[in-house]
Structure 1
């Protein structure tokens, strides 16, 4: 099912775009099971931690995520550490989760 999301493109998102509903959240999370919903400052986000053998591999992955973000024109938070990259997707314009975040999360998984 992950392929279904990763085959889609992000759409331009405006301030009045709808956040995902609770039903959509459950359905979409089923397609990206390694991602965890997090709430920070009352904003729901998707987060996943990727582990690597060293800093250089983590750095290369963070660069791939950055290239994906530019291609989709949707930008996550990327925390690069020794042997670890934490990626957090949410839609800044709506202060929460949009389908774009799930599309990008699925595409991020494919970078591994």
Structure 2
């Protein structure tokens, strides 16, 4: 299986298939610091990153936003003083798709440069 960071997101529709529990078991080890959360009966991936100040957190937010725009897959991002929380899920299916794991891995890759 190719590393998640080397993969591209595919366009999703309401008919796209969510990841199965077995697929989650295979993909999750590539993003070990991400939490699987349930938000209003929707599975999501979430992780918070700490930074020394607001400016750095905002720069990170911008880079994640740029990556999201280039992949056509958009997260929820909360930026605070010294902290950015990123939440990935696929709106079209109200749950998790392989795209969310790809983007979580790419978010971790962006964070390595901060």
TM-score (norm: length of structure 1):
0.96
User: Which aligned segments of 4 or more residues in structure 1 are displaced greater than 4 angstroms?
Assistant: none
User: Once the 2 structures are TM-superposed, how far is the Cα of residue 26 of structure 1 from its aligned partner?
Assistant: 1.3
User: Once the 2 structures are TM-superposed, how far is the Cα of residue 27 of structure 1 from its aligned partner?
Assistant: 1.2
TM-score (norm: length of structure 2):
0.95
Q: Tell me which residue corresponds to 1:7.
A: 6
The separation in 2 between residues aligned to 1:102 and 1:110, in whole angstroms, is: 12
| SS in structure 1 at match of 2:46 | strand
Unaligned runs of 5+ in 2: none
User: Once the 2 structures are TM-superposed, how far is the Cα of residue 15 of structure 1 from its aligned partner?
Assistant: 0.5
Between Structure 1 and Structure 2, the one with more helix by share is: 2
- Spell out, residue by residue over 1:26-64, the C-alpha distance to the aligned partner (whole angstroms, 9 max, x if none): 111111001000000100000000000000000000000
Unaligned runs of 5+ in 1: none
RMSD: 1.1
The separation in 1 between residues aligned to 2:25 and 2:82, in whole angstroms, is: 30
